[in-house]
Amino acid sequence: MPARGTPRIWIERPGKRRNFRRGGTNGRRIIEPNIAGKQSEWQWLDIDSAIRHCTAGVGIWDWASNDDGNPDVVMACAGDVPTLETLAAVTLLHDYVPDIRIRLVNVVDLMTLQPAAEHPHGLDDEAFDALFTRDRPIVFAFHGYPWLIHRLTYRRHNHANLHVRGYKEEGSTTTPFDMVVLNNMDRYQLALDAIRRIPRLRELGAEADERYRQTIARHKAYVIEHGEDMPEVRNWRWITAKS
């Protein structure tokens, strides 16, 4: 559990082919873990970008953003599956609302979310606001319990606009995408959350709700019949954010 003033300790597996955090940590008492699942993983950053990002612990992914400093919404994510679903939600939002302005913020060090006075890795308020803004809606997809993100950020200026999707202890033997659907953290839910929270898009709310219900119904029927996720999910690929 995160605790005030607790130094971070990393444990590194020997023989890891590519340690993307090399040079990314400073100080002593550091052991670096590299933990990976059994499935193929997306590689979103090249090695140099990954080192810079992991050193910072949090940052805007410019290649997935098109806000030009003035976002309608901040789409934030932490964890491999939440990052995938958030990026997929970004592509959906650009399809639904072509002129939407999205900023994508990825977090690899949760302690950066705390104030600097609470943890040595924490961002000061100015740096935090530069990422998450002071007044725009934030949709945050997290691989753990949503309350943790709220606990880490409750003193931040924009906490009132923060909406977190995460693990709800739902799931069974099912498909990978159905697991995130069961926990309401799928790309369609994240896109709907964004539309609901952007003031200028409120008139699209009813249409977006209906689109979501139809898509999830189609997903559930497909999983039951075929035992795998829909092709549009399995074959999804990133499309460059629109400017």
Q: Is the pLDDT of residue 15 over 80?
A: no
- Over residues 41-68, the mean pLDDT reads 95
Give the total number of structural domains in the chain: 1
Question: pLDDT of 95-113, one tens digit each?
Answer: 999 999 999 999 999 999 9
Q: What are phi and psi of 123, to 5 degrees?
A: -85, 145
Residue 18 maps to a domain: no
- Over residues 78-105, the mean pLDDT reads 97
Question: pLDDT of 193-206, one tens digit each?
Answer: 999 999 999 899 99
Nearest to 81 by CA among 233, 242, 240, 243: 233
**Residue 133 pLDDT:** 98
**Residue 206 pLDDT:** 93
Question: How many C-beta neighbours within 10 Å does residue 182 have?
Answer: 15
User: Rounded distance, CA 179 to CA 138, Å?
Assistant: 23
Q: Hunting for tokens 């072509």 — which residue is that? A: 98
**What is the pLDDT of the chain when averaged over all its residues?**
89
User: Rounded distance, CA 118 to CA 19, Å?
Assistant: 29
Q: Could you tell me the two tokens for 163? A: 């909406």
Residue 14 or residue 59, greater confidence: 59
Residue 76 maps to a domain: yes
Residue 234 one-letter amino acid:
R
**Residue 7 pLDDT:** 56
Question: How many C-beta neighbours within 10 Å does residue 176 have?
Answer: 13
Greatest extent of the chain over all pairs of C-alpha atoms, in Å: 54
Measuring CA to CA, how many Å separate 71 from each of 45, 88, 205, 212?
A: 22, 18, 19, 23
Residue 243 maps to a domain: no
- Over residues 141-164, the mean pLDDT reads 97
Residue 133 maps to a domain: yes
**Percent of residues, the chain, with pLDDT higher than 70:** 84
User: Rounded distance, CA 107 to CA 121, Å?
Assistant: 12
Residue 35 maps to a domain: no
**Residue 4 pLDDT:** 53
Q: Is the pLDDT of residue 12 over 80?
A: no
Residue 71 maps to a domain: yes
Residue 22 maps to a domain: no
**Residue 8 pLDDT:** 52
User: Rounded distance, CA 211 to CA 226, Å?
Assistant: 22
Q: Is the pLDDT of residue 166 over 70?
A: yes
State whether residue 191 is helix, strand or coil: helix
Residue 116 maps to a domain: yes
Question: pLDDT of 21-49, one tens digit each?
Answer: 444 455 556 666 666 777 778 899 999 99
Q: Hunting for tokens 């080192």 — which residue is that? A: 51
Residue 10 or residue 203, greater confidence: 203
- Looking at residue 160, which CATH number applies to its domain? 3.40.50.920
pLDDT bin (cut points 50, 70, 90) of residue 240 is confident
Q: How many angstroms separate the first and last alpha carbons of the chain? A: 39
**Residue 241 pLDDT:** 60
**Domain limits for position 79:** 56-234
State whether residue 205 is helix, strand or coil: helix
**Residue 28 pLDDT:** 57
